[in-house]
Amino acid sequence: MKRDQWEGDHRVPFIVRWPGYVKPGKTCSQIISLTDVMATVAAIIGAKLPADAAEDSFDMLPSLLGKGERASPSVSDYAGVWRG
């Protein structure tokens, strides 16, 4: 896991296999972070996270299911890298 703002190791594929939910061969350009896994899994199991838990985690389930990419901050936004 990469924890700094430099490019190396940030663009690692997030591979999902979920028969019946994620279509084989589907690709998505959405950036996902390891921190997003908590909110995404909570959404999958129908759990509601407390307001003070996983504040920087975003539910990426819509992106995984092919229902549109979620507008969320990207890794570079967190790292303070200007994207213009």
Angstrom distance (rounded) from CA 3 to CA 15: 20
When pLDDT is averaged across residues 53-74 and rounded to a whole number, the result is 79
Angstrom distance (rounded) from CA 58 to CA 60: 6
User: What per-residue confidence (pLDDT) applies to 71?
Assistant: 57
Mean pLDDT of the chain: 78
Query: Is pLDDT above 90 for 49?
Result: yes
Angstrom distance (rounded) from CA 83 to CA 77: 8
What is the phi/psi pair of residue 30, to 5°? -60, 135
